[in-house]
A and B are shown apart, each in its own frame.
Chain A
Amino acid sequence: MLNNLKILFHQGKQYIPDVATATVPGIFRGRPRISAGAGHEAELAELCPTGAIDAGPLRIDLGKCTFCGECAFAFPDRVQFTTDPKIATNDRARLVIAAGTDLPITLNPDLIRGEISTFFSGSLKLRQVSAGGDNSTEMELNACGNVNFDMGRFGIEFVASPRHADGIVITGPITENMAEPLQICYDATPDPKILILAGTDAISGGIFEGSPALDRRFLNQYPIDLYVPGNPVHPLTFINGILELIRKRRR
């Protein structure tokens, strides 16, 4: 007992008091910033490993970006990555960063379904499905619930069964071999339910886009309630994205 108390005393307080204003340590690559002006568009588009950079006009699609940062190394006068982790949104178009803009990425309130804030603002239970995920985003989603990020304090938790869930979080590019289990899991989740894509692989396929081992047809059937970019997703990106989704109301 004494030993346990000693351990608790030595650990102290580990939680992040306010996830909305928390900053990430070090040189985190979050929301990028593209300078206005011109130059190097074609080279930037050419060097990107996943085709996330479009040359005319210059823009970066965070749904495809692997956040490798090579574009910022090659042409720092055109592309820089800020440490802003809040890059989740429900509007696919808002993931495309245009040149000359330096605004936070937010959710589009007009796209939030009314039932989300009605039913889920105080409690949201999620079932996670890894469909070809490489286990890095999965580990970060686990980290969302650890004593540092403590997502549970907002009533947001991962649950063991789709029957207990209010929504599904998909990671990975959705392999052909996981397409059917994913559909079964979705069908087993009671309505109303939300659908979240976590990580670049889930949003666009990432580096696996176009692989014949994928089957992404599941995504054509349902609206996506939240896109959470990242490679892997940072816990602060995920938690802040979800909080905005369940708390923001349609105007």
Chain B
Amino acid sequence: MDFRAVKNNQLVSLASIPVWDYDKFLERNTALLADEHCHCVHYFAFPQGKRLRLFCCIADDAQGAILLSSAQVDTSRPLPSFTAHRLAFHTFEREIHENFGVEYTDHPWLKPLRFPHNRSDRQSGIANYPFFRIDSEELHEVGVGPIHAGVIEPGHFRFICNGEQILHLEIQLGFQHRGVEPLFLEKKKPLQRLTLAESIAGDTVAGHTVAFVNLWERLCGYRAGANLQFARTLALELERIAVHTGGLSALCTDVAYQLGSAVFGRLRTPIINFFQVWCGNRFAKGLIRAGGNRYPFTAALAGQLQQVLAGFEPDFEEMCAETFTLPSVLGRFEKTGVVTHEQASAIGAVGMAARVSGVQRDIRASHPHDLYAMLGHQPIVKHHGDVYSRAQLRRREIEQSIGYIRRLLEQVPAETDQPPIADQPAAESFVLSLTEGWRGEICHCAITDERGELALYKVKDPSCHNWLALALAVRNNEISDFPVCNKSFDLSYCGHDL
């Protein structure tokens, strides 16, 4: 039996996913990653009694397919690791180890991932994290966090420095762990699950909620009409513009460029205020619902959005033209925090972090959902992998999103009277939903039991792949460049910690 190939958001029966012996499972999946157009979108364990069924989901971007396979293993027997062959699996195997106590014979470094409340070793605690150390009289360590100087989420960064130069950065996460995945099973009402999806990462409400509703509708056999697909696509692109603009503001702040910081910061306001005009919330909470549309997109709203964009664009371009030619900004952005193509590819980077290093990875193009096939998205790719590229990518993606929104507004679909969704998921099924949030690829997976109840819900934020990219980027940089490097990736703490 070969891999079970599925499309994004395709419902399959659990029985149709092949169960291989572990050696074949390891060999076939790690071999796929030899090609850069294949990458791991999820790899997780589903407990079945005392055994685990491991599911590996590899996206083949060239074919637009996701290749599924599984293996049953005993937790008592140490396993050879995927990570020894492909580094991109390291977080997933660390999670399996942390949650279920699976030992690996050759995993390079089974560090704790997020200290979840249901971890297999409750003796371990976040205060006793095993940091990497180098013993040398010439080196010193710098610890930052978990509480940072700015108003941001908590996480701990431990630098090993030689003078001002960073030799090594270790990122310790888990402070934000709220137990999101088990709550998806415990909270039975669909509205509770939607609220959870909106709260996975409050800066990516559209990204995670679209992933959830697409998955849920497919589980319940509901086909979203053109109006729903329109609203979801529009929300994703508006969110991209808003957060990227805020990101440019913060990048300017981190290089002490006050004018850019203030102007980009205020340019974000009309975009998020449009969300409030549309749905009553500046972060689009409440906007996206499975099987319905609380806030129909009217012709009046379309006219308002055209005006918002017409006001935004000249100010944005004027500010970009100044920022991206200013020597004091360029001096800090260029050649700072470089991630090479080889590194990005090896660690399985996704989203912005991949595309600035020449790795063309974008769900909107490779596994399109909602109206993205119609838009014919062409990803913007940069090659230098530095802070400058990540800033430039934001600028270009904002311009691209404005273009997409204008095309979407040419044809606002009429509201249709669809029958409401029947919230009854198919039994013994598996579905995987991918969306391209502003940060990168979001993956939600669900498995249902014989009664159609959720038996497993897995969430993967792009940050799970990309935190390692930040750790690699700052090596050999000055420690004073850490803030601007960190902001250039703009990764999620709560999306990672779940």
Contact = CB atoms under 8 A, between A and B. Distances in A.
Interface of A: 3-4, 6-8, 10-11, 14, 24-29, 47, 49-50, 66-70, 73, 81, 128-143, 146-148, 158, 160-161, 172-173, 175-178, 180-181, 185, 201, 206-208, 211-214, 231-232, 234
Given A133-B153, A173-B178, A7 B191 contact: no
Contacts of B202: 133-139, 232
Contacts of B322: 3-4, 7
A140 B497 CA distance: 21
A49 B494 contact: no
B269 interface: yes
A158 to B, nearest CB: 5
A220 B348 CA distance: 44
B173 to A, nearest CB: 9
A208 B285 contact: no
Contact of B266 (A49, A148, A161): A148
B286 interface: yes
Contacts, number: 190
A178 B154 contact: yes
Interface string B295-323: 00000000000000000001100110110
B318 A10 contact: yes
Contacts of B259: 4, 7-8
Contacts of A27: 276-277, 279-280
B31 interface: no
A27 B300 CA distance: 14
A29 B319 contact: no
A68 B191 contact: yes
A28 B278 CA distance: 9
A49 B189 contact: yes
A222 to B, nearest CB: 18
A131 B146 CA distance: 10
Contact of B183 (A6, A172, A175, A208): A208
Contacts of B281: 28-29, 67, 231
B294 A73 contact: yes
The 10 closest A-B pairs by CB, nearest first: A136-B202, A26-B277, A134-B202, A213-B179, A160-B149, A213-B117, A49-B192, A27-B280, A211-B179, A26-B276
Contacts of B127: 180
B203 A146 contact: no
11 contacts: A8-B259, A10-B314, A27-B276, A138-B153, A139-B283, A148-B269, A158-B151, A175-B178, A181-B146, A211-B182, A212-B117
Contacts of B205: 136
A193 B174 CA distance: 28
Nearest to B243: A139
B425 interface: no
B356 to A, nearest CB: 22
B149 A139 contact: no
Nearest to B249: A146
Nearest to A158: B151
Contacts of A143: 269
Interface stretch (B46-54, B193-201, B412-420): B193-201
A47 B187 CA distance: 13
B147 interface: yes
Given A7-B319, A49-B192, A146 B279 contact: no
B122 to A, nearest CB: 11
Contacts of A24: 276
A143 B346 CA distance: 37
Nearest to A149: B269
Given A7-B259, A49-B189, A66-B195, A28 B178 contact: no
B191 A139 contact: no
Contacts of B497: 177
